[in-house]
Chains A and B, each alone.
Chain A
Amino acid sequence: MGTALILNTSTLLTLIIITSPLFTPLLSNTLTASPTHIVRTIKMAFMLSLLPMALFTYSGADTVTLCWEWKLITNFKIPLDFKIDQYSIMFSPIALYVTWSILQFATWYMASEPHITKFFHYLLMFLTAMMILTTANNMFLLFIGWEGVGIMSFLLIGWWFGRAEANTAALQAVLYNRIGDIGLILSMAWLATTTSTWQILPPTEPGTTPTLPLLGLILAATGKSAQFSLHPWLPAAMEGPTPVSALLHSSTMVVAGIFLLIRSHPMLTNNQTALTLCLCLGALSSLFAATCALTQNDIKKIIAFSTSSQLGLMMVTIGLNLPQLAFLHISTHAFFKAMLFLCSGSIIHSMNGEQDIRKMGNLQTALPTTTSCMTIGNLALMGTPFLAGFYSKDPIIESLNTSYLNAWALSLTLLATMFTATYTTRMTLMVQTGPTRVSPVNPTNENDPAIINSITRLAAGSMLAGLLISSFTLPIKTPPMTMPLTTKTTAIIVSILGLILALELLNISNTLTKPKQTPWANFSMTLGYFNPLTHRISSSLSLGNSQKLALSLVDLSWYKKIGPEGIASLQQTITKSSTSMHTGLIKAYLGTFALSTIILILTTTHL
């Protein structure tokens, strides 16, 4: 009883603390929420959220807190309840820890921004929506959080709204997410009509959930988590400021789709079609994103594609029927991906806005802490043994190898793992080592506690998070314990192969061989030709058809041709043919009169 009370109180208090800097300026003019104040608030919320996590780790207690119920009709009520279970309890401290570091970094990164307080408020609103999404017990509250993070993503990507590319990218994000929302609303409608509630519950008889609502949920996850076919918004979202990319588009918002599938796992677990779809879609997304990352030259785009690839891996894990492992990967991924983005932000500011890795080099002498942490993050991303990524990535690959599933998905995932090692090594070597290709005068400086503390804090998380989480939590499904040595070491062999591949390729480029334009390189550089194909076709078709509808069909046909102009043109035809008869001669008129009278008499007397 006491445990439940402490859990509920501390979770709700955490949510209130996060939202307090948004409301206090409305109450009084003196209560302004400055950026440093907001950083301290999030730090406090993080410390508080450790309490329910410790309680849960000790006792395994989980609760549902009902705050209010919207009694629509007697049969259908929408409760405002928060599910404080394993996933939301573990996610809250991680999200708050990462947010704390990112906000501290943002006090330095956005220091020259005139509306920095508004920026921080936007990030806080995003965090509130994300917390609502993760603690939601029903689809209604989840939908509120879902749309909230989508809107905040739009506002934050288009933060520098004077830039046309930023506006296009923000619009892209909203449109692709909207397509995913169709699926979410479809499954909400099915849930409401079939089960009379919006709670996600296991089906009463196993194996009876129809595939259509599950496809809706998968579509929603495809849109939000940038799986293949609804993925272009994620690299385009790099137009936003780096703290936005670090918070939204690596650790928190993009995992919302995977989180939805984890939450609805009771419905998914027995439907083999849906699981196979998740598996294949995830494998394809992972490989496609990794292929695109190989030839990118913008440091933020490389990390964005890396995020997309890891999201594909999380989708593969869902397809393997292992939601807890997917959640573990979400948790560990948040640390090192956010850190990679913060390191890239530090590098970008030090290079005076330069984001091209071809114009960076030998930064390990100029920015030692940043580049060291970047190396740690890259190693964790590759799944280096005993860093954070290892504890989640290796079990995923092992489970994939040892389960009865299609070899296509397996080979794609292994290839994607190899490419992960390749592009991370390429990024590391081009940014940190080699000859210095930067311009001579640069504001290179990382000697600011806002940078150092935030990045090293996340580095500590990248090294320890995997170990801590897997020590403290027991797996819900028994991991595979028996496999041949090659299967066990597949992940690490494949990563080493990728590393060797990257070293070899960079060796070739350093010896100044003439670059070849092969079809594979073209495919990778143009991101699979996906963007021009989909964006041009869909917009030209819809604009062309709408033009035809509005102008030709409605204006011309219905308003003119069917009405006055049509009748007028018909009459014109007859009139033109009969004008020749109006000669002005009386004899002609008399003759016509006589002719028509004779015809009339003949027809009437004949009858």
Chain B
Amino acid sequence: MGAHLARRYLGDAEVEPDPLKMPTFPPDMGLPNRRPRESVATAKQLALGRVPLEQRDYCAHHLLRLMRCHRDAFPLPWLCNSLRHQWDLCQHEE
């Protein structure tokens, strides 16, 4: 969420939206020619890779690569640090 705690209590809904009543927006955000977002990893790939359900989001393709790297580099997981960073960066940007 990344919001300031004090702002959450002292400001009103315009400063910090109430997380229980998040505002909704139309799918094209008022911009024409906007296409719906698609996940890079397919559902079949995610199911085969046994990715946990909560992590099947728009960064899951990085996670799949990371899991494969963990398996291939087995006793040395730190060889996959760059892939881990890419996944973390994608999550941060999400």
Interface residues of chain A, those whose CB is within 8 Å of chain B, are 57-60, 401-404, 407, 410, 471-472, 474, 476-478, 480-484, 487
Pull 21 A–B residue pairs with CB atoms less than 8 Å apart, ordered by A: A60-B50, A404-B19, A404-B20, A407-B5, A407-B9, A410-B5, A471-B77, A471-B78, A474-B66, A474-B67, A474-B70, A476-B54, A477-B55, A478-B57, A480-B1, A480-B2, A481-B88, A482-B2, A482-B92, A483-B1, A484-B4
Contact B55 A476 (CB under 8 A): yes
Residues of B within 8 A of A403 (CB): 1
A480 to B4, CA, bound (A): 15
Residues of A within 8 A of B20 (CB): 404
Residues of A within 8 A of B67 (CB): 474
Q: What 7 pairs across the A-B complex have the smallest Cβ distances?
A: A481-B92, A482-B2, A481-B91, A404-B19, A471-B77, A476-B52, A483-B2
Contact B2 A59 (CB under 8 A): no
* With A58-B74, A471-B78, A482-B92 as contacts: A404 and B1 at CB distance below 8 Å: yes
Q: How far is the CB of B9 from chain A (nearest CB, A)?
A: 7
A59 to B74, CA, bound (A): 9
Interface residues of chain B, those whose CB is within 8 Å of chain A, are 1-2, 4-5, 9, 19-20, 50, 52, 54-55, 57, 63, 66-67, 70-71, 74, 77-78, 88, 91-92
Residues of B within 8 A of A478 (CB): 54-55, 57, 91
A407 to B92, CA, bound (A): 24
Determine chain A's interface SS by DSSP, over half rule: loop
Q: How far is the CB of B82 from chain A (nearest CB, A)?
A: 14
* With A404-B19, A471-B77, A481-B88 as contacts: A59 and B71 at CB distance below 8 Å: yes
Residues of A within 8 A of B54 (CB): 476-478
Cβ-closest chain B residue relative to A470: B77
Q: A478-B57, A483-B1 are in contact. List 7 more A-B contacts (CB 8 A).
A: A404-B20, A407-B9, A478-B54, A478-B91, A482-B91, A484-B2, A487-B5
Residues of A within 8 A of B78 (CB): 471
A407 to B4, CA, bound (A): 12
Residues of B within 8 A of A484 (CB): 2, 4
A57 to B80, CA, bound (A): 14
Residues of B within 8 A of A404 (CB): 1, 19-20
A480 to B50, CA, bound (A): 22
Q: How far is the CB of A595 from chain B (nearest CB, A)?
A: 91
Contact A472 B1 (CB under 8 A): no
* With A478-B54, A478-B91 as contacts: A472 and B2 at CB distance below 8 Å: no
Cβ-closest chain A residue relative to B1: A402
Residues of B within 8 A of A477 (CB): 52, 54-55
Residues of B within 8 A of A481 (CB): 88, 91-92
Q: How far is the CB of A298 from chain B (nearest CB, A)?
A: 38
Cβ-closest chain B residue relative to A475: B55
Residues of A within 8 A of B91 (CB): 478, 481-482
Residues of A within 8 A of B88 (CB): 481
